[in-house]
Amino acid sequence: MKSEILAALRSADGYVSGQELCEKFGVSRTAVWKAINQLKQAGYEIEAVQNKGYHIVSSPDILSKTELESNRKTAWVGEEIYYFDSTDSTNTRAKRLAEDGSVHGTLVVADEQTGGRGRRGRAWESQKGVSIYMSLVLKPEIDPNNASMLTLITAMAVAGGIEKTTGLECKIKWPNDIVVHGKKVCGILTEMSTQMDYINYIVIGIGINVQNESFPEEIREVATSLRIESGKKQKRAAIIEAVWEEFEKYYDIYLKTEDMQGLVGEYDQKLANMNKQVRVLDPKDPYEGTARGITPKGELIVDTWEARKLVSSGEVSVRGLYGYV
Amino acid sequence: MKSEILAALRSADGYVSGQELCEKFGVSRTAVWKAINQLKQAGYEIEAVQNKGYHIVSSPDILSKTELESNRKTAWVGEEIYYFDSTDSTNTRAKRLAEDGSVHGTLVVADEQTGGRGRRGRAWESQKGVSIYMSLVLKPEIDPNNASMLTLITAMAVAGGIEKTTGLECKIKWPNDIVVHGKKVCGILTEMSTQMDYINYIVIGIGINVQNESFPEEIREVATSLRIESGKKQKRAAIIEAVWEEFEKYYDIYLKTEDMQGLVGEYDQKLANMNKQVRVLDPKDPYEGTARGITPKGELIVDTWEARKLVSSGEVSVRGLYGYV
């Protein structure tokens, strides 16, 4: 009920009377009073004025199930939310939940990861209280061959969600990083379990640097946070909500054709690599060229001096030739 | 040590003296005596003759870690073996082991499954003591797009392994069933976890009907067991070993080109559907035609009255037009 009361206080114009809350949720005044007190203890500043009612003055940047649920406006993402103060890795959690029958749209959020992972099993730095670590469970009836494009969809959603909440301009470093002012603020790790021709489930993991005030020397040139770039603290729950609202929008367009057909133009506008020199780290034959956007199948178009090449997110990394992007 | 003693007794021509066993394994006579007694208790008939030594008269059809290890001659399959008298599903077990870091070649075998699964989550009947339920963990560095052919490789290995141990002629019903005399004796369920472009692991599950003496009315027309078809009891551990020896052989050939190029001829010889009428259950547009073998990419070639079609194991089932195959 805390989530509902919080949502009611947030959406109210001025004060909400205790009586109103009692009637709305069919509970006693004592129950309302208890819930309000718990919210105060969790860090929400709630004013109570006699004969007027309750009024929310400010909410801190906290993550909790209550906070996430009270912010939720999405249609199906987050219908089930699992929140952890600390977990090994939200992707690992989400995979286990998916194996055990959790539904399409299940969302896992953690305030800290003790075993965060990036691509190819690389470690992902996961401090407590400063970043967003979250994973979404999908169980779509699509061709497994089309699933890798969901990483691109997610990148668009993260870029859009951050822009909407912080006003920062976000670009996508194909295929799975989000950059602000040329530095990385977010990585995406999409994992999939299939019966070869049939998808058991997909898990999309997102890590976003939010409140970090600085980064270790060795990554300072390439990594940044939303706080550093915007110069102020941000609210993670609001960003999370905005990301998934964007995601639902792009996902619907993707599902129509199971590819990027309806999204190429918008994607290319967000593409950090656009018209930039890139180095394609093909293990057999690395080469350089100019990135020219994506194809409807989500491949990166790279013009080399001799030919146009299409890079699928396969066994290949793409690096900026001058700097991170 | 029981596995090693069992293997030594099996490979010996006549009697093996206790002294020999002591020296070979660097243990005391009491330790050898204890191990022999445990083997007897497990059902092995071992004769002990004074001044001659030990001699194995017969071994029952039992599954145990000892039995599996003592039979093992493969190079890397089964380097780690997990045996369960009963488990939910060997694929589920194998997936969990793979997630937790188990190595390429880890083998899971169970005498009973309480939640056996077939394709698309269908239940798989899994009685105790009569069948083979096993799953192999692979962590290969191959293109995820080429992984579905591992089902075909496994089908060849199962067919070959059963033929070698029982003498029964085995055919493959593309893509993942093995048939004897036109009835199903084995199903294969291949599952994969990827990071889209990178394989975390593959799990190949195999279920083989071995000792079943009869089947329920509703599947009697399509299902059979090795015992029914050969008219005698079979040893599951021997079949398991033979299957994986065959698997290693075919897997090596597959790895060279990451496809079926070097195996098409042999596969087609084993193909139960070869030159038969099949119905391709394409959800959008089902059609009928004559199966003509597989392509180097593992697709089934089907000639319809108007065109040659290539069926990938995608969203498609293939049914025999006259009977199960």
The tens digit of pLDDT for each residue in B18-52 reads: 888 898 888 988 888 898 999 888 888 998 888 88
Q: Are A196 and B151 in contact (CB under 8 A)?
A: yes
Q: Name all domains of chain B by residue range, CATH numbers in brackets.
A: 2-58 (1.10.10.10), 65-269 (3.30.930.10), 273-320 (2.30.30.100)
The tens digit of pLDDT for each residue in B209-266 reads: 999 999 988 888 899 999 999 999 999 999 999 999 999 999 999 999 999 999 999 9
* Interchain proximity B190–A196, CB inside 8 Å: yes
DSSP state letters, A81-130: EEEESSBS-HHHHHHHHHHTTPPTT-EEEES-BSS-B-GGG-B----SSS
Q: What pLDDT, on a 0 to 100 scale, did the predictor assign at position A138?
A: 97
Q: What pLDDT, on a 0 to 100 scale, did the predictor assign at position A272?
A: 94
* A318-320 sheet: strands from edge to edge: A308-311, A300-303, A287-294, A277-280, A318-320
Per-residue pLDDT band at B314 (split at 50, 70, 90): low
Name the amino acid, one letter, at A92.
T
User: Cα separation of A261 and A241, whole Å?
Assistant: 26
Q: Which tokens hold the place of B213?
A: 């003496």
Alpha-carbon distance A117 to nearest alpha carbon in chain B (angstroms):
11
Q: Which helix H or strand E contains B178, and what residues bound it?
A: strand B177-180
Arithmetic mean of pLDDT over chain B: 91
In the block, tokens 């029958």 appear at: A101
Q: Which tokens hold the place of A220?
A: 């300072």
CB contacts of A99 in chain B (<8 Å) are 92, 95
* Interchain proximity B196–A148, CB inside 8 Å: yes
Q: Is A89 annotated as a binding residue?
A: yes
User: Cα separation of A148 and B178, whole Å?
Assistant: 32
**Region of poorest pLDDT, from A28-42, A224-238, B63-77, B229-243:** A28-42
Per-residue pLDDT band at A72 (split at 50, 70, 90): very high
Chain B residue with CA closest to A196: the answer is B148
Q: What pLDDT, on a 0 to 100 scale, did the predictor assign at position B231?
A: 95
User: Cα separation of A71 and A68, whole Å?
Assistant: 5
Q: How many CB pairs under 8 A join A and B?
A: 68
Please state the ipTM of this predicted complex.
0.81
Q: Is B113 annotated as a binding residue?
A: yes
Name the amino acid, one letter, at A212.
N
Side-chain half-sphere exposure of A53, counting CA atoms within 13 A: 18
The tens digit of pLDDT for each residue in A206-258 reads: 999 999 999 988 888 899 999 999 999 999 999 999 999 999 999 999 999 99
Question: What average pLDDT does range A108-134 have in this prediction?
Answer: 85
Of the partner residues B92, B198, B316, the one whose CB lies closest to the CB of residue A120: B198
Name the amino acid, one letter, at A104.
H
State the angle between helix axes of A149-166 and A236-257 in degrees (0 to 180), rounded to the nearest 10: 140
Per-residue pLDDT band at A74 (split at 50, 70, 90): very high
The tens digit of pLDDT for each residue in A152-171 reads: 999 999 999 999 999 999 99
The angle subtended at Cα A319 by Cα A315 and Cα A324, nearest 5°, is 140
Question: What average pLDDT does range A298-317 have in this prediction?
Answer: 86
User: Cα separation of A11 and A73, whole Å?
Assistant: 12
Q: Are B281 and B317 in contact (CB under 8 A)?
A: yes
Q: What pLDDT, on a 0 to 100 scale, did the predictor assign at position B265?
A: 96
Name the amino acid, one letter, at B133.
Y
Per-residue pLDDT band at B316 (split at 50, 70, 90): low
CB contacts of A91 in chain B (<8 Å) are none
Residues of A within an 8 Å Cβ radius of B:
92, 95, 99, 119-120, 143, 145, 147-148, 151, 189-198, 200, 312-316
Q: What pLDDT, on a 0 to 100 scale, did the predictor assign at position A316?
A: 61
Question: What average pLDDT does range A36-44 have in this prediction?
Answer: 88
Q: Which tokens hold the place of A205?
A: 């993991």
> What Å distances lie between residue A276 and A271, A303, A304, A316, CA to CA?
10, 10, 12, 17
Of the partner residues B148, B195, B316, the one whose CB lies closest to the CB of residue A191: B195
In the block, tokens 């020397």 appear at: A217
* Interchain proximity B192–A197, CB inside 8 Å: no
The tens digit of pLDDT for each residue in B106-142 reads: 999 999 999 888 777 777 777 788 999 999 999 999 9
Per-residue pLDDT band at B318 (split at 50, 70, 90): confident
- Provide the percentage of residues in chain A whose pLDDT is more than 70: 98
- CA-nearest of A325, A316, A319, A320 to A298 is A316
> What Å distances lie between residue A18 and A8, A21, A36, CA to CA?
11, 5, 10
User: Cα separation of A59 and A235, whole Å?
Assistant: 9
**Region of poorest pLDDT, from A75-84, A113-122, B286-295:** A113-122
User: Cα separation of B4 and B22, whole Å?
Assistant: 12
Question: What average pLDDT does range B184-207 have in this prediction?
Answer: 93
Chain A residue with CA closest to B91: the answer is A195
Chain B residue with CA closest to A313: the answer is B197
In the block, tokens 């055919």 appear at: B171
- Which of A283-297, A300-314, B123-137, B258-272 ranks highest by mean pLDDT? B258-272
End-to-end CA distance of chain B: 46
Question: What average pLDDT does range B192-213 have in this prediction?
Answer: 93
Alpha-carbon distance A323 to nearest alpha carbon in chain B (angstroms):
25
Which residues is A199 bridged to in the sheet? Answer: A194
Per-residue pLDDT band at B84 (split at 50, 70, 90): very high
Q: What pLDDT, on a 0 to 100 scale, did the predictor assign at position A258?
A: 94
Q: Is B66 annotated as a binding residue?
A: no
Residue B34 CB contacts under 8 Å (≥ 6 apart), including other chains: none
Instruction: Provide the strand spans (E) within chain A.
Output: 45-49, 53-58, 81-84, 107-110, 131-138, 170-173, 177-180, 183-194, 199-209, 277-280, 287-294, 300-303, 308-311, 318-320
Of the partner residues A95, A194, A314, the one whose CB lies closest to the CB of residue B191: A194
* Interchain proximity A147–B119, CB inside 8 Å: no
Is residue B313's pLDDT more than 90? no
Is residue B89's pLDDT more than 80? yes
DSSP state letters, B278-296: EEE--SSS-EEEEEEEE-T
Which residues is A55 bridged to in the sheet? Answer: A47
Is the peptide bond preceding residue B60 cis, with omega within 30 degrees of 0?
A: no
Chain B residue with CA closest to A205: the answer is B195
Of the partner residues B99, B192, B198, the one whose CB lies closest to the CB of residue A194: B192
Q: Is B91 annotated as a binding residue?
A: yes
To test the contact with chain B by mutation, choose from A176, A197, A198 the residue with the greatest count of B C-beta atoms within 10 A, namely A197
* Interchain proximity B313–A145, CB inside 8 Å: no
User: Cα separation of A98 and A193, whole Å?
Assistant: 9
Phi then psi for residue B160, to 5 deg, are -65, -45
Q: Is B118 annotated as a binding residue?
A: yes
Neighbour-count burial of B295, counting CB atoms closer than 10 A to its CB (0-12 exposed, 13-18 middle, 19+ buried): middle
User: Cα separation of A66 and A7, whole Å?
Assistant: 9
